Chain A
Amino acid sequence: MPGRWRQVKKGLAAFLLLSLALALLRLTAPREGQSIIPFSSWVWDGAAPVGAGLNLGAEKMAEGMAFLFSGGRENATVRELRARVAELEAEVARLREQAAENTRLKALLDYKETHPGPSLVAEVVGRNPNNWFGTLTINRGKVDGVTPDAVVVAPAGLVGRVWRVSAHTSEVLLITDPRSAVGAVVYETQVPGIVRGMLAPGEMRMDYVVKDEPVKQGMLVLTSSLSGIFPPGIPVGKVVRVEEGEGGLFRTIYLKPVVDLNRVQEVLVLLKK
């Protein structure tokens, strides 16, 4: 009988602990725009230089390995040219989008010039330790003027937006995170939709894409003017496949981000005006 009572007590204690843990889990679920909990803020601010050093070392090591395994074909010049091509492609897409936008706006006689706002360069110093979430930490925070919802871009396109900030660092929610949603448009056909993050390796899905216009593999998707947070015309991803679905008005398209989010080291934070 005492043995049984002991087991009941153990069971009750385990139940109580589990309930407390679940309550804590719910209470600490990160909400957009909130400040980072003090412990994390302290760790992030303190570990930022170490993280930056480790990242740099790992990047150099990865470059060395790529050089070796490709028999010398994958070298600094090739990487530089590739980055330049991506940058120029993004620039062309942005200019085309701007030209198209100009035409539309002028036609409506409701022209509103959009000035690029202030921005600052930030370095990636850490990433979320989980595979389940797509966030990264940058070495710019409140003291630099970064606020939640500030848009984060790389030369090739959209990276994400600032989710939470500490004094000297910020957490960026990547466009591939399941909690991310971006109003976007297929550049070639101007079909709008919402790009959501997925767990699939390096993929996103664009929902609510109407079936009226054709969408093909390789087409470019840009942020749309309907998005409340992101300025229009920033490249988001390229179409990798289209899922027509049975019946209905909409289809789902799958995208690959234009930015290599696993390797991105430096980003540009577009500060709010």
Chain B
Amino acid sequence: MQTFILLWLVGFSLLLQTTVLTYLRVAGVRPDLLLILVAFIGFWRGPREGGLWGVVAGLLCDLVAGGFVGLNALTKLLAGYLAGQAGVFFYRESSLTCALVTGTVTLVAELATYLLLLFLGIWLPLKNTLLYLILPVTAYNTVAAVVLFYPWQRLLSRRLRAR
């Protein structure tokens, strides 16, 4: 049952990300809902599940995007795993902590994406990429995590919280 709920959430987030989220662009970027979801799962359910759901969500995202299969899978695996490690050390019921963890793993995942694109031969100027993409997405995901923390906690904590 839990798996189905999480799969549904991943699918729904992906659908929103490819359609309506473009209307919520701030400074040219939109929040990465899938990354936030993976960070939440990792933070609440541990590094193993965080990593696993990171791969699932990322792979689905890559397959829907139709190319670079593994790009999102790898970066979201990293994000989910790191959020899971943070969940072991930090207090999980605080929205601020959860948001800061989400922001930090977003930053790491986006930097990893930059490196993977370099590996693929796509060179982007680091300063511009940091200023106009990586940092805005990090900030946006951090704020969005605060907003999404309460619905996540209230609606799903009983079903999805790690025992």
In the complex, chain B residues whose CB is within 8 Å of the CB of A130:
61, 65, 72
A129 and B61 contact, Cβ closer than 8 Å, known pairs A22-B119, A199-B129: yes
B1-9, B19-27, B96-104, B147-155: which lies at the A interface? B19-27
A128 in contact with B70 (CB, 8 Å): no
A29 and B120 contact, Cβ closer than 8 Å, known pairs A55-B20, A126-B19, A127-B18: yes
Bound form: Cα–Cα A167–B55 in Å: 29
Task: List residues of B (52-108) whose CB comes within 8 Å of A's CBs.
Answer: 61-74
Number of interface residues of A (CB under 8 A): 47
In the complex, chain B residues whose CB is within 8 Å of the CB of A164:
66
- Which residue from B29, B32, B67 sits with its C-beta under 8 Å from A29? B67
A30 and B67 contact, Cβ closer than 8 Å, known pairs A47-B15, A129-B14: yes
Kindly state whether residue A201 has any CB partner on chain B within 8 Å. yes
Number of interface residues of B (CB under 8 A): 44
**Smallest CB gap from A27: residue in B:** B69
**Smallest CB gap from A199: residue in B:** B133
Interface 0/1 of A40-73, CB less than 8 Å to B: 1101100100110011011101100000000000
What residues of chain B have their CB less than 8 Å away from a CB belonging to chain A? Answer: 14-20, 22-23, 25, 27-30, 32, 34, 61-74, 113, 116-117, 119-120, 122, 124, 128-129, 131-133, 136-137
Nearest 7 A-B pairs (CB), nearest first?
Answer: A201-B28, A30-B67, A40-B66, A58-B20, A25-B70, A28-B69, A54-B19
